[in-house]
Amino acid sequence: MHGAGALITFACAPGIAAIDIPAGQVPRNGLFTKYLLRHIKTPNEDIRMILSV
């Protein structure tokens, strides 16, 4: 399945749950989203390069 301009990412491997919430805390985003948002702000950076690091 290919969609023009579409990019799908996952926080973990297939069949595995992303458990990234510290005990007793309710963060706004999980770890994947936290770091994606931090690095996606970099100007002129290709999203594929950000995700491949």
Identify the band that residue 37 occupies on the pLDDT scale cut at 50, 70 and 90: confident
When the pLDDT of each residue in the chain is averaged and rounded to a whole number, the result is 79
Give the Cβ contact number of residue 20 at 10 Å.
14
Residue 48 pLDDT > 80, yes or no? yes
User: What pLDDT, on a 0 to 100 scale, did the predictor assign at position 29?
Assistant: 76
Lookup: tokens for 48: 């594929």
Residue with tokens 């290919």: 2
Which residues are CB-contacts of 37 (< 8 A; sequence separation ≥ 6)? 29
pTM: 0.58
Vertex 5 angle, CA 36 and 32, to 5°: 15
Which range of 21-25, 27-31, 41-45 scores highest in mean pLDDT? It is 41-45
Residue type, 31: L
